[in-house]
Amino acid sequence: MEVTILGSGTSTGVPAIQCKCSVCISDDFKNKRLRASAWLRIQGQSILIDTSTDLRTQALRADIKRVDAVLYTHPHADHIHGIDELRSFNFIQRQSIPVYGNHWTSKELKTKFSYIFHPGPVEGGGIPQLTLNEFDPEEKEIRVLGIPITPIPVPHGTQQCVGYRVHSFAYVTDCNEIPEKSLQRMRNLKTLVLDCVREKAHATHLNLEKALWVVNQIRPTQTYLTHLSHDFDYSTWMKRLPSGVALAYDGLVIHSSQ
């Protein structure tokens, strides 16, 4: 399996608009972060995790040629508002794309994008052709294109976000803690991509202290921190983080065996 980090940034992206901090004005490409999302290639299938606000730019940069399915973590704008870009893949593939989400995500998608999921007459440009599949994250396993995937339910404030485990790889973002039941689903990982928005405590995200606590609990071989704000200068923090923990960056390619 091959995973590309399409975006490693928080909801504002980095640089943030008109911010003049050292990270936002940095020339280091690893400090330039589009909104958080990932691209999985496994068993000949191409799967997105989220359709970020920046999906068009990400798809062109990563040379994504097709999208066979989308796994949604949750329905906040930075994770779903690139949904219209899926039209381009519909035009190429000439078939509907299955998308997956929990109840909260499915409900919000149908409300925010009613023109897609409850379409009436369409005037002008086409709309994405998507098939929405709602699932219960408490299930031990879902099947996506025949691939077994383990949902990892985590709290994101008062709502529930969903991380995903595929074999020995897991992607868990936008959470303020990880319950014991979900920690159990993350045991024996080789690679973990994990939420870490900033140094200071945050009401709906893991900060650095909490993220490192999670790493110490499950001890994956390698962890990449994502959904990063401009708190984190790449070169500075790569010298400070413990062994086996690194900052993700846009374009990072991860090879994960089963």
Q: Is 241 exposed, middle or buried (0-12, 13-18, 19+ CB in 10 A)?
A: middle
Mean pLDDT over 12-31 rounds to 98
Residue 99: pLDDT band by 50, 70, 90 thresholds?
very high
Residue 158 has a CB neighbour count (10 Å cut-off) of 7
DSSP state of 180: H
Q: Where in the chain are the domains? A: 2-255
pLDDT digits (tens, 9 = 90+) for 78-90: 999 999 999 999 9
Residue 258: pLDDT band by 50, 70, 90 thresholds?
low
The predicted pLDDT at position 181 comes to 97
Residue 122 phi/psi, 5-degree rounding, is: -110, 125
pTM of the entire predicted model: 0.97
Helix 86-93 / helix 55-62 crossing angle, nearest 10 deg: 50
The CATH architecture one would assign to domain 2-255 is 4-Layer Sandwich (3.60)
Mean pLDDT over 32-43 rounds to 98
